Amino acid sequence: MIRQFLTAAAIVIAGLSAPAMAEPLAKDIFGRFSQPSRGPAVSIGYYSKGCAQGLTQLPETGPSWQAMRLSRNRNWGHPDLINLLIGLSQAAQKSGWKGLYIGDISQPRGGPMLSGHASHQMGLDADVWMLPPSSLNLSAAQRESLSSVSVVDKRGTGLTKYWNQGHMSIIRAAARDRRVERIFVDPVVKVAMCQMETGNRNWLRKVRPLNHHNYHFHIRMSCPKGSICQKQDAPPPGDGCAEAAEWIKNRIDPSRVKPSPPNPNYRHPRSFRLSELPQQCRTVAAAP
């Protein structure tokens, strides 16, 4: 099966005039690699349109973490991100947690995924569960069946009983890391942290409100040295607290939201074909 996809990738690389529909979707190529390509670690492209060479696998279990949903084979990342996550798991222990449950990072060669995320394509994104670990000795089966918890109530306007000071400490530690570009959380979480912070608030600028981030928070690392990345625009000035508060007001009263017309040029990243990714991704896809 992999040989079939590599053959299709080789056709694209060679520039042959194969029919457009004969070229497989990039998700079908990158979603089926079980190992990374050889060579130094290089993140290529953009968080939602790229790939990666030489990724490192987060060990399934460590003294302060466990990788979850092992069947997905998405515990691969740039070595700098893997080191960041391990360090954050150690910081979690100092915050009163046993460590961290770490969810999806990237596929072995990055790229668009068969299902799930639009980003996580360069080995620079990682999801960290909001569930404080009760054990760091879970079996593979337990890691498939266990679920995280939502720290936001069903109305999306307040916190649940699962939120604790540890969440604040861990997310703040991640945001203060100079290697971190963004952290995505539900706007309710963002507002809570804005209210809890009584000291230096500069780190709050990196924490951005985003729907569907109540069961986990998303760490996005900036482009490492030696990589080939399209830079993300800097966050707006200020701590972003007022913006997050507006999100909650809009949830309470949806009539406040002005409908915006759909973007006719938008395509979901899972619909990209290999030839539409950065040129270097064709080499990554064709590598042994």
The pLDDT value recorded for residue 151 is 98
Q: Which of these, 166, 161, 162, 241, lies nearest to 201 by C-alpha position?
A: 241
The pLDDT tens digits of the residues spanning 96-154 come to 999 999 999 999 999 999 998 999 999 999 999 999 999 999 999 999 999 999 999 99
What mean pLDDT, rounded, does the chain reach?
Answer: 93
Whether the CB-CB separation of 89 and 100 falls below 8 Å is answered with yes
Task: Give whole-number Cα distances, 275 to 8, 26, 164, 270, in Å.
Answer: 11, 8, 46, 13
SS3 254: helix
CA distance 269 to 118: 6
The pLDDT value recorded for residue 14 is 44
- Give domain limits for the chain: 30-233+244-253
Whether the CB-CB separation of 73 and 57 falls below 8 Å is answered with no
CA distance 232 to 228: 13
Q: Going edge to edge, which strands form the sheet with 49-53?
A: 49-53, 42-46, 228-229
Fold for domain 30-233+244-253? Answer: Muramoyl-pentapeptide Carboxypeptidase; domain 2 (3.30.1380)
Q: Strand 61-62 vs strand 56-57: parallel, antiparallel, or unpaired? A: unpaired
Low-confidence ranges of the chain (pLDDT < 50): 1-19
pTM of the model: 0.91
The pLDDT tens digits of the residues spanning 24-47 come to 999 999 999 999 999 999 999 999
Which stretches does DSSP call E strand in the chain?
Answer: 42-46, 49-53, 56-57, 61-62, 65-67, 76-77, 100-102, 125-129, 180-185, 207-209, 216-221, 228-229
